C-alpha cells in the first residue's frame, strides 16, 4: 500500500462538509491528527458537539473521501480537547 503525503489527505478532507455549517471539516478544525503509513491512513477528529446528529454521516464521508486515494482508512473520534472553532470561522459565524 502506498504512503500518502499529508497534503493529498488534506485535499480529500476538504471535500467533506459539515451538513449544518456547510464548511469543510478541515477548515472547521475538526481534524486533530493525520497519520499515513504503508498500512493506511489514521484520522483523529472531533465533532462540533458530542451530540452531533450527523456524526455517523460525517465519519462515513471522511472515510469515503480518503479511501478515494486508494488507501485503507481508520477514523477515530475524540472530544479531548473540546472543539473550538478557528478564529476565521468564529468571525464568519459572528461569534
Domains in the chain: boundaries: 6-84
CATH of 6-84, one of 3.40.50.720, 3.40.50.300, 3.40.640.10, 3.30.300.130: 3.30.300.130
pLDDT tens column, 24-40? 999 999 999 999 998 99
How buried is residue 34: exposed, middle or buried, by Cβ count under 10 Å (0-12/13-18/19+)? middle
pLDDT at position 1: 64
Residue 77 to residue 4: CA distance in whole angstroms: 21
pTM of the model: 0.91
- H or E stretch at 40: strand 40-45
φ, ψ for residue 74, nearest 5 deg? -125, 125
Amino acid at each position: 500500500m502506498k504512503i500518502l503525503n499529508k497534503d493529498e489527505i488534506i485535499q480529500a478532507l476538504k471535500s467533506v462538509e459539515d451538513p449544518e455549517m456547510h464548511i469543510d471539516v478541515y477548515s472547521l478544525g475538526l481534524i486533530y491528527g493525520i497519520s499515513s503509513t504503508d498500512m493506511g491512513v489514521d484520522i483523529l477528529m472531533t465533532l462540533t458537539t458530542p451530540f452531533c446528529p450527523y456524526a455517523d454521516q460525517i465519519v462515513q464521508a471522511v472515510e469515503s473521501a480518503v479511501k478515494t486515494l486508494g488507501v485503507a482508512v481508520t477514523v477515530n473520534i475524540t472530544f479531548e480537547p473540546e472543539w473550538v472553532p478557528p478564529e476565521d470561522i468564529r468571525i464568519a459565524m459572528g461569534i
